[in-house]
Amino acid sequence: LASSSKSPGEFELIASLVRGLKTSRRTILGPGDDCAILAPSHKPLLYTIDSMVEDVHFRLAWGPPEKLGAKALAVNLSDIAAMGGRPTVCVVNLGVRPGLTQRFFDRLYAGLGSLARRHGVDIVGGNITRCAQLTITVALLGEVNRVALRRDTARPGDEIYVTGTVGDSSTGVRILDGRIKAHGDARRFLVERHLNPTPRLAAGAALSRMTPPPSVIDISDGLLQDLGHILERSRVGAEVDACAVPVSDAYQSVMGNVLSCALGGGEDYELLFCLRPGYTERILSRRLGIAVKRIGRIVRGKSLVVRDASGKRISTVAGWDQLRSRQ
Amino acid sequence: LASSSKSPGEFELIASLVRGLKTSRRTILGPGDDCAILAPSHKPLLYTIDSMVEDVHFRLAWGPPEKLGAKALAVNLSDIAAMGGRPTVCVVNLGVRPGLTQRFFDRLYAGLGSLARRHGVDIVGGNITRCAQLTITVALLGEVNRVALRRDTARPGDEIYVTGTVGDSSTGVRILDGRIKAHGDARRFLVERHLNPTPRLAAGAALSRMTPPPSVIDISDGLLQDLGHILERSRVGAEVDACAVPVSDAYQSVMGNVLSCALGGGEDYELLFCLRPGYTERILSRRLGIAVKRIGRIVRGKSLVVRDASGKRISTVAGWDQLRSRQ
């Protein structure tokens, strides 16, 4: 059992991961030894790990392997963005099941490597194992830009903003698995938002230059649940205006006025942030390089209240414990 | 699909991972945010990732969850040892299948956390996902002690040494899965060597203080194959005296004179190193704090020749390509 823990063709796979990889000056030794060696960093480091598992997070039929490889890195880049940081170096663990070709992995690595290059990330090592499901796990290091943006610094009176639009990705996944019907441009847009999320690194970096530093999280679990993480860590409550939550035209054309995916759907990888009053959406959108909408404010207590256009409560979560179990 | 990517009880699992975790001063922010934050390191960093997958690397019936958790970290510690480094910080990705209890994960994390504390490693983050097989992936950072020990620095004339004994782990796994019969102390010893390997961090640190720095690898794939990695990276050959390869009394009592597990079995996590002549086994054993045996020497060319007691060739691998495909 242990002696056959490696999949046949492992060396070809590693070769295809390493092939053509260019690393920056911060990488003293890349793949091929027991460890990679990195030059000392004189800034605080950021460190995160995330994993994508076949039939849990994706199906192969949904899109090309390039987008799969890129997304495995993108979800980690989004964590660095949410801390206001700059990504630097990653290692990749691949669980390989039977039935996948060398060509498939070449394409997967091409997508991963292309996104890494675009953001100046060195891929410095990897490990490959057999597994019943295809799994791609990326552990990513980054550097703090100016100050690290945390979940535990929101204060009553702060205004709550989100970048971009929310709910597209979870609508897209429902289209892909047939739970929702959609066609044409709307379908293409929503599916693309799911398969190819954009980590908001420039927006995160811009937020790290603000004083006082805002409290930030990326929307991976869903808007209300991720806001709940900030509330719990900061020990505050919030009021959210459901009508202010930004949704795309494509979302509206498919979902109408139903906000469930916008409020509760995951994998948007937009940033949600809380900052002292005094900004306008226009100023923030310009500064962050992406449209920004104000959706509510931080209050004392530990309740998350969601109101409709008339100000009526449409949902109240009475405590952080409840928010945690909403998934 | 995407919206149900988290397993029920994820928060309890994360809580049990984090509970009672103490981190050192190098960890500015531990688990609970988008990323961990680490204090700047002024030494070069080492970076590695490794994964253990149920029914590929282990079966739950073979041992207690504490040893499983510890081994998932130990195999990474061994990579740091092979670079002569000091481990510092890790993140953990857990793939959870149905049917495992909270108590099981508490015990798994207890084993992982205990080994981490013993070696001064901070566990600063994690991620949990559903998976068909239990998988434990650890990405580990370390610091270079004095100089990083690499695979690509062996030179003709170097003598080849190994620490401890080899073949115990692969004999142990054959006992566990019923391919080999063994009883009493020998069985217990060999099984324990498989379930609970000892990363040779002190030996690696001692090697990093030698001049010139030796070429080092840890024996995870098997002695000949791992030696082959050094030969390929250093572009040299080797001659190995099979009779000099150190095996335990337990190994001999079960395997007799059969050296297949000693030469080809994996997961020993001993160190194999190549250094300039002039040392004795006794001096090196004292300096490294573990018994060390000389097993051969580095030669020009790209062949790996294994000889028996009479000097007769019992195995020749003509090139690095052949070594790579030996698994």
Specify the pLDDT at position A311.
87
Contact B224, B288 (CB under 8 A): no
Residue A3 with chain B: CB contacts under 8 Å:
170, 173, 222, 265-266, 327
Span A155-165, average pLDDT: 98
Residue A95 with chain B: CB contacts under 8 Å:
51, 53, 135
Nearest CA in chain B to A265: B3
Cβ separation of B51 and A89 shorter than 8 Å? no
Span B140-163, average pLDDT: 96
Residue A1 with chain B: CB contacts under 8 Å:
55-59, 173, 177
In sequence order, what DSSP letters do the residues of B78-114 get, joined into one string? HHHHHTTEEEEEEEEEEEE-TT--HHHHHHHHHHHHH
CA distances for A221 relative to A309, A319, B15, B249, angstroms? 25, 18, 17, 54
Residue B146 with chain A: CB contacts under 8 Å:
none
Q: How many CA atoms lie within 13 A of B163 on its CB side?
A: 29
Q: How are the residues of chain B apportioned to helix, strand and coil, as percentages rounded to the nearest 5?
A: 35, 25, 40
* Tokens matching residue A87: 């990504």
Per-residue model confidence as pLDDT tens digits over A185-213: 999 999 999 999 999 999 999 999 999 99
Cβ separation of A92 and B49 shorter than 8 Å? yes
Specify the pLDDT at position B81.
98
Per-residue model confidence as pLDDT tens digits over B178-231: 999 999 999 999 999 999 999 999 999 999 999 999 999 999 999 999 999 999
Per-residue model confidence as pLDDT tens digits over A134-145: 999 999 999 998
CA–CA dist A144, A53 (Å, integer): 29
Question: Whose structure tokens read 């800034």?
Answer: A43
Span A238-265, average pLDDT: 95
CB pairs under 8 A between A and B: 250
Residue B56 with chain A: CB contacts under 8 Å:
1, 5, 129-131
Specify the pLDDT at position B1.
41
> ∠ at Cα B267 (B264, B272), nearest 5°?
70
Q: Which of B35, B47, B169 sits opposite A46 (nearest CB)?
A: B35
Provide the b/e sequence for B223-259 (b: ≥16 CB within 10 Å). bbbbbbbbbbbbebbbbbbbebbbbbebbebbbeeeb
Instruction: Indicate the average pLDDT of chain B.
Output: 92
Tell whether the model's pLDDT for residue A324 goes beyond 80: no
- Nearest to A90, CA basis, from A75, A78, A76: A76
CA distances for A297 relative to A179, A277, B198, angstroms? 34, 9, 53
Crossing angle of helices A65-82/A201-208, nearest 10°?
Answer: 10
Per-residue model confidence as pLDDT tens digits over B73-98: 999 999 999 999 999 999 999 999 99
More confident residue, B255 or A327: B255
Q: Which of A137, A173, A265 sits opposite B137 (nearest CB)?
A: A137
Query: Which residues, 6+ apart, have CB-to-CB distance to B98 below 8 Å?
Result: none
Q: Positive or negative CA dihedral for A207, A79, A234, A241? A: positive
More confident residue, A6 or B256: B256
Cβ separation of A46 and B37 shorter than 8 Å? yes
End-to-end CA gap in chain A: 37
Question: Whose structure tokens read 């080999």?
Answer: B180
CA–CA dist B322, A39 (Å, integer): 34
Strand partners, A140: A48, A90
For an interface test with B, which of A12, A47, A180 has the most B Cβ atoms less than 10 Å from its Cβ? A47
How far does the CA of residue B165 sit from the closest CA of chain A (Å)? Answer: 18
Q: Which of the residue ranges A75-89, A257-271, B16-30 would you say has the lowest mean pLDDT?
A: B16-30
Instruction: Indicate the average pLDDT of chain A.
Output: 92
- Nearest to B120, CA basis, from B90, B148, B93: B90
Task: State pTM to two decimals.
Answer: 0.93
Specify the pLDDT at position A22.
77
CA–CA dist A169, B217 (Å, integer): 45
Per-residue model confidence as pLDDT tens digits over A98-122: 999 999 999 999 999 999 999 999 9
Q: Which of the residue ranges A204-213, A248-257, B306-315 would you say has the lowest mean pLDDT?
A: B306-315
CA–CA dist B51, B126 (Å, integer): 14
Share of chain B above pLDDT 90, in %: 84
Tell whether the model's pLDDT for residue B35 goes beyond 80: yes
Q: Which of B6, B79, B91 sits opposite A49 (nearest CB)?
A: B91
Specify the pLDDT at position A206.
98
Q: Which of A44, A51, A139 sits opposite B28 (nearest CB)?
A: A44
For an interface test with B, which of A17, A42, A49 has the most B Cβ atoms less than 10 Å from its Cβ? A49
- Nearest to B113, CA basis, from B104, B121, B101, B125: B121
Span A283-301, average pLDDT: 98
User: 3-state class of A206 per DSSP?
Assistant: helix
ipTM of the complex as predicted: 0.92
Cβ separation of A93 and B89 shorter than 8 Å? no
Q: Give the β-pairing of A304-307 and A237-241.
A: parallel
Contact B100, B128 (CB under 8 A): no
Nearest CA in chain A to B40: A44
Specify the pLDDT at position B8.
42
Per-residue model confidence as pLDDT tens digits over A4-25: 344 445 555 665 566 556 788 8
Nearest CA in chain B to A81: B34
Specify the pLDDT at position B325.
54
A 10 A CB-CB count for B75 gives 24
Cβ separation of A137 and B93 shorter than 8 Å? yes
Residue B59 with chain A: CB contacts under 8 Å:
1
